[in-house]
Amino acid sequence: MGIKIGKIAIDSPVFLAPMSGVTDQPYRRIVRKQGPELVFSEMIASKEMLHSEHSGIRKLKTNCQLEYPLVVQLAGWDPKDMALAAKMSEERGAAIVDINMGCPAKKVVNKFAGSALMQDLNSASEIIRSVVNAVSIPVTLKMRTGWDSKNRNAPELAVIAESEGIQMVTVHGRTRCQAYKGEADWSFITQVKDAVKIPVIANGDVKTVYDAQKCIKISGADGVMIGRGAYGKPWFLNHVTKFLEMGKVPLPPSLTQQKIILLEHLDLMMTHYGFENGARMARKHITWYTKGLPLASASRQRIYSSKNLTSLTNEIESLYENALERMAA
């Protein structure tokens, strides 16, 4: 089941996707603790990193060696900036650099970065070549199937990427114009798989262990990358890995175990960001973890109003205690 990325051997073919505002250091650490071997950083704009802008530095505020093997994902349109940012990532201990040519966000594509580069394969090739030549660690590439339904050129870009030294490609099964609408086209990914010899990873709409199995079967991919399916479920990637290995669906953590994981996640966030920023950024995670729990909506308002970590912890403890009592009644 393992995958080799350059000289780096990865035992599990299940990867955590790079997600802006989600896959920060605290989230990566809590996911890694559950079992997955390879995780990706948030997308980092190359110019932000080079010019020491706050968000760029914050996103790479980590000891990459402690998270080894960590993949640092970079986005940008300038080959020189991308090469320098890749070199900086390597110097900070990144095991792999991933080039983002899949982000559909307007603020990214309007700068001719992310999935906009799929409209200009010459520019894409130049960026890939610059990054590969700048570092000694493996370089990978994440893309979409194409810009729109009439221009699904992922196989062509994959061939170019492989010829320039890319060691693995990940394909999200939608076009840029789809964003996250409709369904991911796993079957199209077979065309990418057939076009190259390097590992191909399928991404998009993997929300259950059965989705992962079906995605690999339909796409022929060497593995899956999971993003939104892991919201509030950092154990999900490990469950997918075990299911693919043994064919049995692992039992989910008990509510008590889920509470412990959430509290540890929050503690990591407060340590990383400080309470004020950490509590604000934790809101989406709390919503995902507690979705479907009895009285969760009402409890969240009290949780979000907490003035310190002790108060926040007490409110979450109370929410889970009430949920356990109601479910036992």
If phi over 0 gives left and psi between -120 and 50 gives alpha, with beta otherwise, what is residue 14?
beta
Q: Which residue is associated with the tokens 């920023």?
A: 277
- CA–CA distance, 200 with 145 (Å, rounded to integer): 13
**Strand pairing class (3-5; 8-10):** antiparallel
Contact of 128 with 161, CB cutoff 8 Å? yes
If phi over 0 gives left and psi between -120 and 50 gives alpha, with beta otherwise, what is residue 72?
beta
Q: Decide if 177 is catalytic.
A: no
- CA–CA distance, 206 with 126 (Å, rounded to integer): 32
Q: Phi and psi for 298 in degrees, rounded to 5? A: -65, -40
Taking the alpha carbons at both ends of the chain, their separation in whole angstroms is: 43
**Strand pairing class (200-203; 223-226):** parallel
64, 103, 177, 215: which one is catalytic?
A: 103
Catalytic residues: 103
